[in-house]
Structure 1
Amino acid sequence: MLRFMTLGPSGSNHEFVTARYLEFHGLTGKASVELVLDFDTAAKAVIKGDADYLIQVAVHPSTTEIVAKFRKHLFVIDAFVSGSKDMAVVTRIDIKQPRSLALQPATREYVDTKGLELIPETSTASVAEGLLSGKYESGLTYSSLAHDYPERFRLDEVVGTVDDPWIVYGRERLSGGNVVTWKDSPAAHAYQSELNLAAL
């Protein structure tokens, strides 16, 4: 069985997207997913052989460090685009006007945070956990939280799903220094379509 690592806690967007990636490649039931709380730990585990692959959203604050720090032993072997879970600013119903907003720093530009104290969290799932425990007034997290607990939370601003780039790392360099891409991709079709229209 193949062993993949990604960012937790359970219910995280990383877990959600990793499951979609494994399903796309027909690996459901043939691969396990282990959740970790930081990518440094995951990278070292893959290098050591305690896991086979690591999946990370490319916009995560630690991505540059992971690519650079472990470049001799951990390689980018694949990249893909995936929509996230449905997201929103979720606020406790007992808070009329929140003064703070918990969020994963990579999501900061999804909403207007002017005038709010920003509380950084390791993942969007940990924002949800903080809201559930009463730790936070408001947070940028999954809209499902408000749907699951309508007596506790409301949706202040709906973000929806966001298409993010994702990176898959492994111990073996697969690119050979070449461009690795999908010639029959939706982007390739869009390029050809635009060229065909321009030629008319």
Structure 2
Amino acid sequence: MLRFMTLGPSGSNHEFVVARYLKFHGIDDIATVDLVDDFNVAAQAVIDGVADYLLQVAVHPSTTEVVARYRKQLFVIDAFVSGSKDMSVVTRIDVEKPRSLALQPATRDYVNTRGLELIPETSTGSVADGLLAGKYESGLTYSSLAHDYPSRFRIDEVVGTVDDPWIVYGRERLSEGQVVTWKDSPAGRAYRSELKRAAG
């Protein structure tokens, strides 16, 4: 059994993407996923052998810290691009004009936040949990929250899905200091297509 760790809570974008990643590699039936609320805890768990791999979105505020702090024991072994869950600014029905917005800091520039008090949250999933608990007036979270609870929430602004870079860490360095990429990737095919067009 392969043991992966990623950021919770349950229903988080991290959980959504790790499930897609495991399915892509055909290992979804032999892998477990543990959710944590702190990437340092997850990194230490992989280093200690409690888990095998850690998956993290590259734009998370703690990514630089994880890469640098654990560089001798935890290695980047894979990277990929994945679309996120569909996101929106979701607001409580009883709030006519929100004065604050809960969000995961990496998502701040997805919408205009001018004039709003910003409330940082660990993940987009924890923003949804806070809205459900009545802690927040409005939050940048999953559109499905408003669809699932139409009597409690409305969508004020649609963000949609966002293509993010993702990192997978493991205990063994696989790159051997070389470039690790895929020549026939979508990017590789686009480069060759541009070259053919330029050659005329």
Q: 1:133 aligns to what?
A: 133
Q: 2:100 aligns to what?
A: 100
Q: What code does the residue aligned with 1:154 have?
A: R
SS at match of 2:114: coil
Whole-Å separation in 2 of the counterparts to 1:26 and 1:149: 34
Give identity over the alignment, percent. Answer: 81
Pairwise mapping of residues 57-96 of structure 1 onto structure 2 (< 5 A)?
Answer: 57-96=57-96
Whole-Å separation in 1 of the counterparts to 2:10 and 2:142: 13
Whole-Å separation in 2 of the counterparts to 1:87 and 1:8: 17
CA deviations over 1:114-168 (Å, ceiling 9, x no partner)? 0000000000000000000100000000000000000000000000000000000
Whole-Å separation in 2 of the counterparts to 1:161 and 1:181: 25
TM-score where L is the length of structure 2: 1.00
Whole-Å separation in 1 of the counterparts to 2:131 and 2:98: 12
Whole-Å separation in 1 of the counterparts to 2:17 and 2:182: 19
Q: 2:161 aligns to what?
A: 161
Shift of 1:46: 0.1
CA deviations over 1:78-125 (Å, ceiling 9, x no partner)? 000000000000000100000000000000000000000000000000
Query: Gaps spanning 5+ residues in structure 2: where?
Result: none
CA deviations over 1:169-196 (Å, ceiling 9, x no partner)? 0000000000000111000000000000
Shift of 1:28: 1.0
Pairwise mapping of residues 4-153 of structure 1 onto structure 2 (< 5 A)?
Answer: 4-153=4-153
Q: What code does the residue aligned with 1:91 have?
A: T
Runs of 4+ in 1 over 4 A off after TM superposition: none
Query: Gaps spanning 5+ residues in structure 1: where?
Result: none
SS at match of 1:56: strand
Q: What code does the residue aligned with 1:10 have?
A: S
Whole-Å separation in 1 of the counterparts to 2:60 and 2:39: 10
SS at match of 1:45: helix
Whole-Å separation in 1 of the counterparts to 2:192 and 2:183: 11
SS at match of 1:91: strand
Whole-Å separation in 2 of the counterparts to 1:155 and 1:198: 44
SS at match of 1:154: strand
Shift of 1:43: 0.1
